[in-house]
Structure formats: C-alpha cells, structure tokens
Amino acid sequence: MSVLERLETYARVKEHESMKKHTTFHIGGTVDYFIYPKNCTSLLCVVNILNENHIPYFVMGRGSNVLCDDEDFHGAIINLDRTLNEAYIEPSGILVAQAGCSVVNLAAEAMKHSLSGLEFASGIPGSIGGAVYMNAGAYKSNMAEIIKDVFVMRDNQIVWMDKSELELAYRHSIFQKHKDWTILAARLQLQPADRDEIRDLMDSRRQRRMAAQPLDKPCAGSVFRNPEQIPAWKLVENLGLRGFRIGGAQVSEKHCNFIVNENNEATAADVRNLIALIKEKAKNTYDIDLITEVEQLHW
C-alpha cells in the first residue's frame, strides 16, 4: 500500500497543492501532501505514517501569520481548520475550542453568550491554535489572560498542559521551542458581562482595525514584534520606509508594520529581503534588533 493510500484511510489528501491558496499572504510553492485529518485519532495516525516514512511535515491552521518558501515542499502540510473546529461553552464560562476554530467566530459566539474576554481577538483572522502558539494579542490584551490549559499532542501522547507550563510571554509560548508539539484544543476562562457592551466594544475595535490596517490586501498581519523603545510601525515610518517596495512586497502605505503582497506578485524572497532591509536599517540607525512576528516556514 502506498503512502498516499495509507494517508487517505485517515484523512482527505490533496497532492501537489499550492500553498498560495492556503495562506493570507498568497505566497508559497506546492506541497506533496496537503492533509485534512478527520479527528484527533486520525491526526495521530497521519503523523505516525509520516514519521515512519521520514516525510517532514508542518501543522497549520488558517495560514494567517505564515510565510511559506517559494520552493516546492517535498513533505506534508496538516491542516486543522476544516475538521478540528468544534467549540463548547460550559455554564461556568469556560470555552473549550479545538485548534482549528476561527478566533473571530469564537469571539462572536462568546458575545452571544454574554461572555467577555475575547473582545481583543474579534479582528484576528487566525485559528485558536495559532493564537495560543503566538500568544496573540491586541489592545493591550492577549491570550495568556484567558487560557486555562491546552490539549496537546507531544511524543505520540495526548496531554493537557496547564497554563503555568506554557511559558506565555509577549508573542511567545513554549510551542515555539517545540515545533513537533501540536496544539489540539484550548480551554479559555471567560467572564459574564453585558452583551451589548461586549458587542459595542467589538464593533468599535473592528472599525478601528479596518481603518488602520490593509485588510483588503494579501498580508500576514504584523511583521515585527514591538520593541520596548518604540512601536514597530513608528520605527519603520521613522526610517522613511512607508510604501517602500522590493519586487512585489511592499511596506503598507496604511500601516508600516504590515508588508503586503502588492498585486499578488510578491515572492517569499521579496518579503524576506524587505524584512532584512528593515531590520538592518533599524539596527544601524537606532541600535534596535527587530524580531519578526510572522512565522516563516522553511523547507
């Protein structure tokens, strides 16, 4: 039995799939196997098959904070956003969400149940798995404030990891050090609040995002983490790089901490060269070492 036949026992598989279709940057080569596992059991089996055959793989959600290589990937992408996307709300206000759940949809669902805590995330276009991985945040709030524990696949075992084990910090979690661990679900502690107030706050923040960010163009959100001295967007603007372009990659005219794929012509090399130029100028001019926030997949 071929590897493909074995994989198709447990998952839906697309061969030679373009990663441009699966990232908000619209950048990337093709991947040998693009895999949608049916559930946690099938995910375990898929990973075992890939490991047995020495096939490299990455696990991905909605592809909203990812930059893929231009070259073809002779490996597999395991996608969770179409299958591991169930969520449950306990009477106590605990929201249990599988890794593939849309953060935007979860925030809306919490609002419907008069539960507060996810308002900051109502405009983050990623999955809950990615949000936990990055300790995503906005408006001086982040995932660390609401996470109770996380359901994780590691070393061929499925375990609950308490918040205290996750090393949560600014745009950081322990999962960034353990790329082979897979986030399956998270439990979030939300608090009861007035539904109309939650809705109004979410609406105002959504409008603010739409006004300030280039959401109408292919991009991957904020490119750099904010250094202590100055917001990243302000630093890039002070360097005179608003609108600066390399190939099809351009520093957004609307928000200087965004790089957009102008006219869908950018390559990963264009984006990386632009990132490198910004980092070099920031170091030479202000002695600041910018750290990228976008997750870069190298194969």
* % pLDDT > 70, the chain: 100
Please confirm, yes or no, whether 262 is among the known catalytic residues.
Answer: no
Query: Would you state the pLDDT for residue 83?
Result: 87
pLDDT tens per residue across span 230-277: 999 999 999 999 999 999 999 999 999 999 999 999 999 999 999 999
Query: Would you state the pLDDT for residue 156?
Result: 82
Q: Which of 6, 62, 171, 187 is catalytic?
A: 171
CA distance 133 to 175: 6
Query: Would you state the pLDDT for residue 210?
Result: 87
CATH 3.30.43.10: which residues of the chain? 3-79
Mean pLDDT of 126-151: 95
Q: Contact at 8 Å (CB) between 15 and 35? A: no
3-class secondary-structure state, position 31: strand
Query: Would you state the pLDDT for residue 151?
Result: 97
Give the CATH number of domain 3-79. Answer: 3.30.43.10
Taking the C-alpha atoms of 154, 85, 257 and 232 in order, what is their torsion angle to the nearest 10 degrees? -50
Asked if the 87-212 domain carries CATH number 3.30.465.10, the reply is yes
- pTM of this structure: 0.92
Q: Which of 102, 222, 272, 295 is catalytic?
A: 222
Please confirm, yes or no, whether 293 is among the known catalytic residues.
Answer: yes
CA distance 178 to 52: 20
Q: Contact at 8 Å (CB) between 165 and 206? A: no
3-class secondary-structure state, position 297: strand
Distance of CA 172 to the CA centre of its chain: 12
pLDDT tens per residue across span 111-137: 999 999 999 999 888 999 999 999 999
Sign of CA dihedral 3, 8, 10, 15: positive
Tell which residue, 71, 46, 45, 40, has the closest CA to residue 58. Answer: 46
Mean pLDDT of 276-295: 97
CATH 3.30.465.10: which residues of the chain? 87-212
Mean pLDDT of 210-224: 94
Query: Would you state the pLDDT for residue 82?
Result: 87
Return the top range by mean pLDDT from 84-88, 154-158, 203-207: 84-88
3-class secondary-structure state, position 271: helix
Tell which residue, 273, 257, 285, 110, has the closest CA to residue 195. Answer: 110
CA distance 232 to 210: 19
Give the CATH number of domain 232-297. Answer: 3.90.78.10
Tokens 């007035």 locate to 194
pLDDT band at 299 (very low <50, low <70, confident <90, very high): confident
Query: Would you state the pLDDT for residue 123?
Result: 87
CATH 3.90.78.10: which residues of the chain? 232-297
Q: Which of 119, 262, 293, 295 is catalytic?
A: 293
Query: Would you state the pLDDT for residue 298?
Result: 86
